[in-house]
Chain A
Amino acid sequence: MTPEQQTAVEGLLRSHAAAPGGLLPLLHAVQDQLGYLPPAAVPLIASAFNRTRAEIEGVISFYHDFHTEPPARHTLRLCRAEACQCMGGEALAAQLRDSLGLPDEGVSADGELGLIPVYCLGACACAPALELDGRLHARVTPDKLRQLLQGLKGGEGAC
């Protein structure tokens, strides 16, 4: 952890550790701020919450949202649940596999794009759906996916 990261974690711990059941909000807050949960933060969190490191690690590993490595510059969360599968969602997954060499989950060779499967984004009436850098897109066609990926390469509006 960099000194800046450590300061950030300590600041967040001060505002969260006292709240009843405050661990998930704390983990979200750290991840929102740093982009991921640095493993070196675990001992700090454990001592602030008066729990063991194993417990904290157990919580982090239980939830699909929490990541212990820095994310790629862009994150694409593709819905793989039933309603999207029935509307061409699997073809979008195949498209990502073919065009970026990305399997169901992983980071593109250039390290720019991280792909994460999700199971339902609540857009099932306008399937298939995906979320790119936090923004929801629905009725996604192969063309639209291509445009979205192209847009990332353009650089502008990235991040």
Chain B
Amino acid sequence: MLTVYIPMDSVACAVGADDVAQRFAEEAARRGMALDIRRTSSRGLFWLEPLVEVDTPHGRAGFRTVTPEDVSGLLAIDMAAVRDHLLSIGLVDELPYLKSQQRLLFARAGLTRPLSLDDYLAAGGYQGLEKAAAMSGDDIVANVLDSGLRGRGGAAFPAGIKWRTVRQAGADSKYVVCNADEGDSGSFADRMLMEGDPFLLLEGMTIAGLAVGATRGYIYVRSEYAPAIAVLRQAIVIAREHGYLGDNVAHGGHDFDIEVREGAGAYICGEETSLLESLEGKRGTVRAKPPLPALQGLFGQPTLVHNVLSLASVPLILARGAAWYRNFGMGRSLGTMAFQLAGNVRRGGLVERAFGLTLRELVLDYGGGTASGRPLKAVQLGGPLGAWIPPSLLDTPLDYEALAAIGAMLGHGGAVLADDTVDMGRMARFAMRFCAIESCGKCTPCRIGSTRGVEVIDRLLAAGNAEEKSRQHALLDDLCLTMQHGSLCALGGMTPFPVQSALKYFPADFGLTSQENAQ
């Protein structure tokens, strides 16, 4: 019997994967042909979606951007001659884009069915938890510390230190909270992982629960990710049925259970304290720190808050060992990073690599430059609070420290490409406006400053003479400084980054000469 693999990832479906799967079923029925249609996760090679794969003696071969109209032709071809088909991309694992990656977190992407526990177990799933269940909490924490894992949500704080703090905190109840608010434009790795490999996240959270002594976990997922929410809820039921959640998890003598909570369309709820307020049923107003959430988090109890990818890294660290994990990466940036290529990019998708590649390799070698074929103007790295990086800085290595040195940040690893038709004056204005729309309102520089920022940028762009331009420019610089230093959290504090980088590298888009800008 022929087996075809078609992703059920929501974005693959948004470009037609469901329609293609349905046509396969219809065509097979019409021909009285036995066909096994497996709905897998996505490989993350989004420019090829819908990517349909078939088994061949040498491995899985793929067909790109398949439409329902292509299906009948695909069923007619001789599997020995797969390569000759117009849409053939040959063996998927041999694609340089994929072959050169180091897929640890996304090892199963495109291969397994998201809700098949059997697929998960057959591909190494729950080995980390089995080990953890037999260890002391201190030993689990020591493993995470040794691995050098840093939070993948943006701030890159060493995970092990947070685990130790929560573990050592004395309290009746503790919580593990997964931050799945992924609001950054250009980011979709959390979404892919939750939709495609939900048990991995559940396993990571469960290990975290055992380590810090928590019995309850929450996954706070943004409401825009309805399919991920549905998949996670089903996965939780399955995990419970098989003893991977609930009482006496994995026979280790500890209880742990997880609930999925849906966000409500507020970007700021990705900030961890705002997220906790939201989980408590309040407005998502940012809390002042201290107290740290690790000591007084959800409902005032010690709480371990982590991004999806941080938690999903944990099962591998436990299963393969901290030393093995440290083999990937460089300096203080250890392990792999899930980069995401988005926007005006020829080959948009997920690139999981050990830290150390440069922005050029990511954007040009993997991404293939712009989709439009026009010159690349800038790359925004790390979401809406990240700087716009000009092509002249493409050789910057993609690690936390090197990026900080050029005033940029890796954030959650998303890279948005813009071609030369994009007006950086407008993008700067958008950054301020976004901040105004999403501000939680707690502090003045952000709440008021962002609105004033939009106005100043409007005046700067409209200014008719050099004198007025330079007045508005000075005002904007001043405002950015105030926001940067006077805001409670990074929404107000980092909105100046996209604004100032746009001004610095693309003064012409503001009607400024570079000299005026240098003043």
Contacts and interface: CB of A to CB of B under 8 A. Distances in A.
B280 interface: yes
Nearest to B218: A21
B416 A86 contact: yes
A72 interface: no
B509 interface: no
Interface in B378-410: 380, 384
Find the residue from A20, A21, A28 having the highest chain B CB count within 10 A: A21
Nearest to A62: B283
A82 interface: yes
Nearest to A135: B14
Interface stretch (A4-12, A106-114, A125-133): A125-133
A53 to B, nearest CB: 14
Given A120-B224, A126-B14, A139-B15, A85 B430 contact: yes
B343 A118 contact: no
Interface in B264-290: 264-267, 278-285
A126 B347 CA distance: 10
A118 B225 CA distance: 12
Given A82-B380, A86-B343, A59 B185 contact: no
B345 interface: yes
B265 A125 contact: no
Contact of A137 (B14, B186, B427): B14
A122 interface: yes
Contacts of A83: 185-186, 342-343, 414, 416
A127 B343 contact: yes
Find the residue from A20, A22, A66, A129 having the highest chain B CB count within 10 A: A20
B34 interface: no
Find the residue from B185, B224, B267, B371 having the highest chain A CB count within 10 A: B185
A138 B16 CA distance: 9
A118 B224 contact: yes
Interface string A82-126: 111111000000000000000000000000000000111111111
B280 A21 contact: yes
Query: What's the interface size class on B, roughly?
Result: 35 or more
Contacts of B182: 122
Contacts of A20: 280, 299
Contacts, number: 154
Contacts of B380: 82
A27 interface: yes
Given A22-B281, A62-B284, A82 B427 contact: yes
B283 A24 contact: no
Interface in A5-56: 20-25, 27-28, 49, 55
A63 B284 contact: yes
A1 interface: no
A155 B280 CA distance: 41
Contacts of A21: 261, 279-281, 298-299
Contacts of B281: 21-24, 49, 59
A55 B474 CA distance: 41
B340 interface: yes
A125 B284 contact: no
Nearest to A51: B281
Nearest to A138: B14
Contacts of B418: 82, 86
Contacts of A81: 185, 384, 434
B244 interface: no
A84 B262 contact: no
Contacts of A126: 11, 14-15, 46-47, 49, 348
Interface in B461-495: none
B203 interface: no
B368 to A, nearest CB: 13
A147 to B, nearest CB: 13
Given A124-B187, A125-B46, A65 B14 contact: no
Given A25-B262, A62-B284, A123-B188, A138 B15 contact: yes
Interface string B155-176: 0000000000000000000000
A58 B441 CA distance: 12
B395 to A, nearest CB: 22
Contacts of A27: 264
B13 interface: yes
Contacts of A84: 185, 343
Contacts of B184: 120
Nearest to B418: A86
A34 to B, nearest CB: 16
Contact of B14 (A64, A119, A136): A136
Interface string B7-35: 00011011100000000000000000000
B11 A138 contact: yes
Contacts of B427: 82, 85
B362 interface: no
B279 A87 contact: no
Given A27-B264, A87-B371, A122 B343 contact: no
B257 interface: no
B186 A82 contact: yes
A24 B264 contact: yes
Nearest to B189: A122
Nearest to A22: B281
Interface in B411-441: 414, 416-419, 422, 427, 430, 434, 437-438, 440
A58 B283 CA distance: 7
A134 interface: yes
A19 B223 CA distance: 19
A24 B279 CA distance: 8
Which 8 residue pairs spanning A and B have beta carbons closest together? A23-B281, A125-B348, A124-B342, A63-B264, A81-B185, A64-B265, A125-B46, A65-B265
9 contacts: A21-B298, A62-B266, A64-B265, A65-B265, A81-B384, A86-B343, A86-B418, A137-B14, A139-B15
Given A82-B185, A136-B13, 19 more contacts: A25-B262, A27-B264, A49-B281, A63-B264, A63-B266, A63-B284, A64-B266, A65-B265, A84-B185, A84-B343, A119-B267, A119-B434, A120-B186, A123-B10, A123-B188, A125-B348, A127-B342, A129-B14, A136-B14
